Chains A and B, each alone.
Chain A
């Protein structure tokens, strides 16, 4: 199942995000050999400090098995900066109707072990469906996503092939990376749902997610009493927005 986490509810799910950063470290540093910064076994970059939108997959035990991160292309995002090599020096797309998805990954090790309750393919499709539906519901027409060739093949196999690519394939660590375009149409969502036989709602409510993760529920409740969203009690209205202020470019 999938949980959608952003600035409005992340105080409830800090430990899910913590597990997500660990999964990203295992995938992007250990497995793919990308030059990402790892601290205490967690992969966190400056875009994580910009309050992005996370889509996170959990298995029946409540363990994080997949994740992806979304940012608006009108503001700071990875293709405009970190991944600019993929675009061969060309300016990235900038549109109110396109979001960028990065750090798309699935815990293949956990899902390939004996007794896993779902498959890599199914977990990937669930994550994609939740991402496409979240984007569609937000009025987003297209996603530009930075992926490696393995993920590209997975997308193609799941009847979810990108309709085009931007820039060129560039070496990155042990593998390479490319930027693909996906539309968030009902047609595509239907195809992926059909491929993986996903007929029900894949996104959990906050309450259901807290139930699935007893630890999170405890932290969530504890946090609920003490956590105030940064800026909520600030006396300065609309200070240059939290997290964006110290980012060059």
Chain B
């Protein structure tokens, strides 16, 4: 995950969301990556895409976001929605025939995110390729894409100052304890031995702690935990 910008590190930097999506695209070899999120607390919607300008204009002008079946279904889904699973409705054909003219494939997947306050996000990736390669690509990247989707969503939602305060999730004693040992230089196996829990339990709590601190990396999570006086600097 180290190649990607940690969005929590570059607060306020213009263009960071576009840049992040371009990095995701290049790292996994997708044609395009798009994020759309809605923040009901602030009453705002946010969209960031790597699509060509002409498609963005056409999509907005035709108001495709009102009928785009990938968004309609994914918005209510828990699991990632592969676009091949979506019923071939009139709207599906309308949006994807137009997309094809702009060189955008109908092979894609949309990963839904649900936040704590009714906020939702959707990260979509697409690539014009055959079925076999597509399946392999997604099987390889889907776990990272889940983390990336939530990281992007949290960063976008938290760009609203009120939401940033509201959306802070408390850490559990165990998460804080594990962060503290990590800050002290202990490995996950060391920590598992010290706390007499499984290695995987350490890993799961560390991942949860990172996400609660809106960080992609453990280093950034520790920096934030120290800044928030959750743990002591060592």
Contact = CB atoms under 8 A, between A and B. Distances in A.
A96 B197 contact: no
Interface residues of B, number: 53
Nearest to B141: A139
A6 B40 CA distance: 23
B72 A231 contact: yes
Interface string A88-120: 001111111111000000000000000000000
B45 A237 contact: yes
A138 to B, nearest CB: 5
B88 interface: no
Interface in A151-169: 163-164
Interface in B155-214: 169-175, 197-198, 200-201, 204-205, 207-208, 211-212
A7 B150 contact: no
Which of A6, A76, A94 has the most chain B CB atoms inside 10 A of its CB?
A94
Contacts of B65: 237-238
Given A96-B147, A139-B143, A181-B201, A242 B79 contact: no
Interface string B66-104: 100101110111111100011000000000000000000
B118 A247 contact: yes
Contact of A243 (B76, B143, B175, B198): B76
Which of A93, A139, A230 has the most chain B CB atoms inside 10 A of its CB?
A139
B21 to A, nearest CB: 17
Contacts of B118: 240-241, 244-245, 247
Contacts of A53: 77-79
B38 interface: yes
B52 interface: no
A163 B198 CA distance: 7
**What is the interface of chain A mostly: helix, strand, loop, or mixed?**
loop
A139 B145 contact: yes
A183 interface: yes
A99 B120 contact: no
Which of A75, A231, A249 has the most chain B CB atoms inside 10 A of its CB?
A75
A73 B208 CA distance: 10
Which of B38, B77, B142, B208 has the most chain A CB atoms inside 10 A of its CB?
B208
Contact of A76 (B116, B149, B198, B207): B116
B114 interface: yes
Contacts of B114: 72, 74-76, 241, 244
B36 interface: yes
A238 B38 CA distance: 7
B38 A97 contact: no
Interface of B: 36, 38, 40, 45, 65-66, 69, 71-73, 75-81, 85-86, 111, 113-116, 118, 120, 139, 142-147, 149-151, 169-175, 197-198, 200-201, 204-205, 207-208, 211-212
6 contacts: A8-B86, A74-B150, A75-B115, A90-B174, A98-B208, A138-B146
The 4 closest A-B pairs by CB, nearest first: A75-B114, A240-B40, A139-B142, A7-B76
